[in-house]
Amino acid sequence: MPDDRELAETHASTGLLGDWVPGTAAMDELVVSRQSESLDSDDILVKKPLGFLFWFALSWVGLVVLLAVIADLLPLANPNFQNYSAINARPSFHHLLGTDDLGRDLLSRVIYGSRVSLIVGFAAVTIGMLVGGTLGLISGYKGGRMDTWLNAGAFVLLAFPAIVAVIAIVAFWGHSLYKITIILSVAVIPLLYRVVRASSLSFANRDFVIAARTMGATSTRIVFREILPNVIPAAAAFGLITVAGVIVVEGTLAFLGLSVALPTPSWGNIISEGATNGNLQVNPFIMLWPVLAMFLLLLSINLIGDRLRQRFDVREGLL
């Protein structure tokens, strides 16, 4: 029965009935299930299953994060230990993913390397969201001169080719983990600001906001209690997709040798090593594993972001 309801829901929302014939047993069942006034609110919420892909994506992200966190507890080889008796070894029981041209264990390097990507990706977006998101919320609700100036500022920053600016700053300022994080968070602030502001603006003059005002709510209360909960789904979805973007940029920097210094592994610099010194011909696994891990991570993050947005999309036409 849940499937029928889901199907009916889809048809109702798209307005297409397809081969659906009103009055079929399934439809009657749906009508009955709607009419029988169950008071359990969860029962009335017609939940669409998130699907196998979503759970696969979530498990992959979960696995990557978990491994990165507990890497020190795992029986992994030292990612920087060079075993000269096992250079360019193929995957085996001793080295599950093989070794690179210096005899370092690739599984260990890929897992430790994920730390850099994850920290930079999530930390930069969190900082960016705190700053850009807060500014966007307030500026979208308040409007006026502050909004005009912030918006103009965001446009100026967006007009800069971000990657070039980031490379220039990294080249001058240095490239430790926290500096990379700060620089990338600054780079995503205007993006997140714009998205949150647009969303906030679309709620700023809605009746429920005016209604909250007539009940004596302060601006702070309106922004954080009335508008923020409405903005969160869109912001979270976009934030996740931005995480994916930041991971790519960090990878690019690492590939160019501008991220964390060697020999500390990061996906970007493992890929870079795999591509140099003719390694790609001799041992394609060096490049394959980090590329595969990153590809799946980005795909998963995007998929989760998208599903969450669909899931929490407030469907006012649901009646």
Q: How far is the CB of 226 from other proteins (least distance, A)?
A: 6
* Sites for other proteins among residues 126-145 (CB under 8 A): 144
* Sites for other proteins among residues 13-52 (CB under 8 A): 39-41, 44-45
Q: How far is the CB of 209 from other proteins (least distance, A)?
A: 8
Give a three-class secondary structure readout of the chain: CHHHHHHHHHHHHHCCCCCCCCCCHHHHHHHHHHHCCCCCHHHHCCCCCCCHHHHHHHHHHHHHHHHHHHHHHCCCCCCCCCCCCCCCCCCCCCCCCCECCCCCEHHHHHHHHHHHHHHHHHHHHHHHHHHHHHHHHHHHHHCHHHHHHHHHHHHHHHHCCHHHHHHHHHHHHCCCHHHHHHHHHHHHHHHHHHHHHHHHHHHHCCHHHHHHHHCCCCHHHHHHHHHHHHHHHHHHHHHHHHHHHHHHHHHHHHHCCCCCCCCCCCHHHHHHHHHCCCHHHHCCHHHHHHHHHHHHHHHHHHHHHHHHHHHHCCCHHHC
Task: Dig out the tokens for 230 from the structure.
Answer: 């409405």
Q: How far is the CB of 20 from other proteins (least distance, A)?
A: 23
Residue 318 makes contact with other proteins by CB under 8 A = yes
Point out which span in 110-118, 125-133, 224-232, 296-304 binds other proteins (CB under 8 A). Answer: 224-232
Point out which span in 68-76, 160-168, 181-189, 204-212 binds other proteins (CB under 8 A). Answer: 204-212
- The smaller minimum CB distance to other proteins, of residues 3 and 207, is found at 207
DSSP 73: G
Residue 220 makes contact with other proteins by CB under 8 A = no
Which of 229, 257, 263, 284 binds other proteins (CB under 8 A)? It is: 229
C-alpha to C-alpha distance for 294 and 310, rounded to whole angstroms: 24
Which of 230, 259, 266, 269 binds other proteins (CB under 8 A)? It is: 230
- The smaller minimum CB distance to other proteins, of residues 28 and 313, is found at 313
Distance set, CA 16 to CA 19, 20, 264, 303 (Å): 9, 9, 55, 26
Residues 6+ apart with CB under 8 A from 63: none
Residue 207 makes contact with other proteins by CB under 8 A = yes
Point out which span in 113-121, 129-137, 222-230, 244-252 binds other proteins (CB under 8 A). Answer: 222-230
- The smaller minimum CB distance to other proteins, of residues 34 and 90, is found at 34
- The smaller minimum CB distance to other proteins, of residues 5 and 213, is found at 213
Point out which span in 78-86, 160-168, 220-228, 270-278 binds other proteins (CB under 8 A). Answer: 220-228
Which of 226, 239, 242, 303 binds other proteins (CB under 8 A)? It is: 226
Which of 24, 92, 148, 218 binds other proteins (CB under 8 A)? It is: 218
Point out which span in 10-18, 149-157, 267-275, 310-318 binds other proteins (CB under 8 A). Answer: 310-318
> In the complex, which residues of this chain contact other proteins (CB under 8 A)?
39-41, 44-45, 144, 206-208, 210-218, 221, 225-226, 229-230, 314-316, 318-319
